[in-house]
Amino acid sequence: MADVTDTASADTVPQTLNSAAWGVGLATIVNGDSEDSVLDTWFPAGQLGVGAPPWLNQREADSQLAKLPAEATRPDPIRGVHTRWICVVIQSLAAPPSGISDAYLRLHLLSHRLVRPHGLNTDGIFEQLPNVAWTSAGPCAIDQLNVAQLRARRAGSWLHVRGVDKFPQMLDYVVPRGVRVADAARVRLGAHLAPGTTVMHEGFVNFNAGTLGSSMVEGRISAGVVVGDRSDIGGGASIMGTLSGGGAEVISIGEDCLLGANSGVGISLGNGCVVEAGCYITAGAKVTVRAAVSAHGRSYETGSVLRAQELSNADGLLFWRHSVTGALEVSGRAGNWGGLNTQLHTAQ
């Protein structure tokens, strides 16, 4: 198999929406051997990639599978599952997922940083992925969980259930180089964490979302959200994603931005923006201009009142809530808010 590293930076990973992709993975299967019986599929580093697969036909694929360690395919009588090596080829990442293992390959491509967020199609992925009990022994079918727990206790062990969800935690499948994650349960498989990223205990990163450079994540990066280099998502801060309410607009945070503690945005921020702690900006919120600002070729004079959406993606803005009137206000800003602590993000 061709070797693939996981050290590509955001600057070197192209948008690959029209590319093919491939992977050789270990599928966990319950109640038979069909695609519908797959609980998860793990694609180890070096066994997946973007572009044409390294094999040319099924015979070559079978030959490659035969070289993989057979001991990894032993059945687990406690969970009632078995595993087997499989080959998955996606003809075009622009097409939606076509099955469980296809969906897992896409999530791995994102977390291995072989594809940027929005560099592949994830439409309908919730319908493709089964709801699974994630246990200390691995994935377990929900309708088999009580039986599995009983079998474990009879064997003198304990089956710890860490969650019931469609997505597992990323670090059980992919550990990208150059990042720190304080709480593994807070980062879903399919998150894209660039080198230099730190996710603290209360930080959260969803699938098809993440960072494109060194970032501090102490708040929530929702599905579809992308955060630029040298930006800080403060403790308890929230960025609206594309899942709740069926929203389609992609929210992004530019470079050198700061979201203060317990702040939030429902608009995109350009580069060099700051949102005051506790200040939440929704797209339809009315914002008063306190010092003239420019956005998208338009100038807004002091005293102007406009919808926050009109400032989406604009650079160099400072948002705050007036401590007396409670009104949302904005002005232009210059200079540095302090920046990331380089010791925390370069010595990974």
9: confidence class by pLDDT, cuts 50, 70, 90 = very low
Higher pLDDT, residue 94 or 246: 94
User: In the predicted model, what is the mean pLDDT of residues 215-239?
Assistant: 96
346: confidence class by pLDDT, cuts 50, 70, 90 = low
Q: How far apart are CA 228 and CA 214, in angstroms?
A: 8
3: confidence class by pLDDT, cuts 50, 70, 90 = very low
User: Mean pLDDT over all residues of the chain?
Assistant: 90
Other Cβ atoms less than 10 A from the Cβ of 221: the count is 30
Minimum mean pLDDT range among 20-34, 158-172, 201-215: 20-34
Q: How far apart are CA 107 and CA 120, in angstroms?
A: 10
114 contacts 4 by C-beta, under 8 angstroms:
yes
pLDDT for the residue 292: 85
Q: pLDDT per residue over 132-180, tens digit each?
A: 999 999 999 999 999 999 999 999 999 999 999 999 999 999 999 999 9
Which residues are CB-neighbours of 58 under 8 A, at least 6 positions away?
none
∠ CA 133-138-143, rounded to 5°: 35
Q: Is the dihedral of CA 96, 98, 99, 104 positive or negative?
A: negative
Q: Write down the pTM of the prediction.
A: 0.91
Which residues are CB-neighbours of 22 under 8 A, at least 6 positions away?
48, 49, 51, 52, 53, 54, 87, 88, 89, 90, 105
15: confidence class by pLDDT, cuts 50, 70, 90 = low
Number of helices followed by number of strands (H, E) in the chain: 5, 28
pLDDT for the residue 241: 81
- State the alpha helices, DSSP H only, in 44-202: 58-66, 100-111, 125-128, 145-154
Q: pLDDT per residue over 322-339, tens digit each?
A: 999 999 999 998 777 677
- State the alpha helices, DSSP H only, in 137-182: 145-154
All CATH 2.160.10.10 domain ranges of the chain, comma separated, are: 170-346
Q: pLDDT per residue over 251-280, tens digit each?
A: 999 999 999 999 999 999 999 999 999 999
CATH number for the 170-346 domain, one of 3.40.50.970, 3.90.1150.10, 3.40.50.720, 2.160.10.10?
Answer: 2.160.10.10
For 306, the token pair is: 């406009």
255 contacts 274 by C-beta, under 8 angstroms:
no
∠ CA 76-77-79, rounded to 5°: 70
pLDDT for the residue 31: 80
Q: pLDDT per residue over 80-96, tens digit each?
A: 999 999 999 999 999 99
Of residues 153, 150, 205, 156, the one with CA closest to residue 182: 205
Between the alpha carbon of residue 90 and those of residues 21, 28, 125, 300, the distances in Å are 5, 20, 14, 48
What is the chain's percent helix, strand, coil content, to nearest 5?
20, 30, 55
All CATH 3.30.70.2010 domain ranges of the chain, comma separated, are: 21-124
Buried b or exposed e, range 321-338, using 16+ CB within 10 angstroms: beeeeeebbbbbbeeeee
345: confidence class by pLDDT, cuts 50, 70, 90 = low
- The values of phi and psi at residue 244, to 5°, are -65, 125
Other Cβ atoms less than 10 A from the Cβ of 131: the count is 12
pLDDT tops 80 at residue 131: yes
Q: Just give the CATH number of 21-124.
A: 3.30.70.2010
Q: What percent of the chain has pLDDT above 90? A: 77
User: In the predicted model, what is the mean pLDDT of residues 233-256?
Assistant: 81
Higher pLDDT, residue 16 or 142: 142
Other Cβ atoms less than 10 A from the Cβ of 15: the count is 13
User: In the predicted model, what is the mean pLDDT of residues 221-243?
Assistant: 92
β-bridge pairing 21-30 and 48-50: antiparallel
Q: Catalytic amino acids?
A: 218
Q: How far apart are CA 197 and CA 345, in angstroms?
A: 6
